[in-house]
Amino acid sequence: MAGHNKWSKIKHRKAVVDKRRSKVWTKVARAMTVAARESGPDPSFNVALRCAIDEARYANMPRDVIERAIQKGAGGGDQSNYDAIRYEGYAPGGVAIIVDALTDNRARTATDVRNAFGDHAGNLGTSGCVAYLFQPRGTIIAQAPGLADEAVFEAAIAGGALDAQAPADDDTAWTFTSRVEDFNTLKSALEAAGLTIDDASLGMIAETYQRVEGEAARQVLALIEALEDLDDVQKVHSNADIVDLADES
């Protein structure tokens, strides 16, 4: 029975991982289709598409699936009318939340987002209520094996980075931010210098952060997770500065 129980746990974990991967692939494929439909299938001239393709690759999406998603948008095979919608609101502790969605049913998505906020002690606000706290930015996470810090900083400057953060504590990854228009230039500069990109995405970065801890921090994390789990939600941005819950006494 012990062996059976272990196998059951392994199968359960695999099912959870497969479900999460499927959800990520579905969201990224939708983003690629919409980007290709709106601005064409060439990622060299379509920043949103280039970013979505990168996210698909980081998620280990097969090449043929990526190509089908792009052609679906560029070739007119996508009959769905997806709208990009942004929601804004507040999480516990005064944390600001921005939710970006792609939906073919505005009423459904609005209800789902509102319920997620309500179920986790948050409040869905009006358009513009927290957007002023954020700026559109590119974020790149990369490894710099064998490279001196000076070389990494030089590559970041050459690529137009607004900020470069060296690895902290036990982490090995560098974090870079850029303006949206400099995103691809920075990514290319880092790769040319020998860095390995772990993740690259466009999003909304907070200019100031709200520190939360204890139960409020747990509620914030639960709200973000609930929002990210919604099928229509593409990205969730927050200005939460969460105290490491493991360090709490």
Contact 228, 199 (CB under 8 A): no
* Tokens found for residue 170: 């036990």
Give the up-direction half-sphere exposure of residue 16: CA atoms within 13 A in the CB hemisphere: 6
Q: Which of 213, 176, 203 is nearest to 95 (CA)?
A: 213
* Tokens found for residue 162: 């607004």
- Angstrom distance (rounded) from CA 196 to CA 248: 34
Q: Where in the chain is the domain with CATH 1.10.10.200?
A: 2-74
- Angstrom distance (rounded) from CA 178 to CA 163: 7
Q: How many other CB atoms are found less than 10 A from the CB of residue 127?
A: 10
- Angstrom distance (rounded) from CA 108 to CA 112: 6
Contacts of 193 (CB under 8 A, 6+ apart): 147, 151, 152, 154, 155
Contact 30, 48 (CB under 8 A): no
Contacts of 226 (CB under 8 A, 6+ apart): 116, 119, 120
SS3 content of the chain, % helix, strand, coil (to 5): 50, 25, 25
Give the up-direction half-sphere exposure of residue 79: CA atoms within 13 A in the CB hemisphere: 0
Length of the chain: 249
Q: Where in the chain is the domain with CATH 3.30.70.980?
A: 81-249
CATH top-level class of 2-74: mainly alpha
Q: How many other CB atoms are found less than 10 A from the CB of residue 24?
A: 17
Q: Which of 197, 236, 239 is nearest to 27 (CA)?
A: 236
Provide the pLDDT for residue 15.
39
For residue 234, with 0-12 CB atoms within 10 Å meaning exposed, 13-18 middle and 19 or more buried, which class applies?
A: buried
Contacts of 225 (CB under 8 A, 6+ apart): none
Percent of the chain with pLDDT over 90: 70
Question: Tens digit of pLDDT per residue, the chain (249 long)?
Answer: 343 343 333 333 433 344 466 688 899 999 999 999 889 999 988 988 999 999 898 888 999 999 999 998 887 665 678 889 999 999 999 999 999 999 999 999 999 999 999 999 999 999 999 999 999 999 999 999 989 999 999 999 999 999 999 998 778 899 999 999 999 999 999 999 999 999 898 999 999 999 999 999 999 999 999 999 999 999 999 999 988 766 554
Q: How far is CA 203 from CA 73, 135, 237, in A?
A: 22, 8, 7
Provide the pLDDT for residue 7.
36
- Angstrom distance (rounded) from CA 90 to CA 239: 10
> What CATH number was assigned to the domain covering residues 81-249?
3.30.70.980
Provide the pLDDT for residue 169.
77
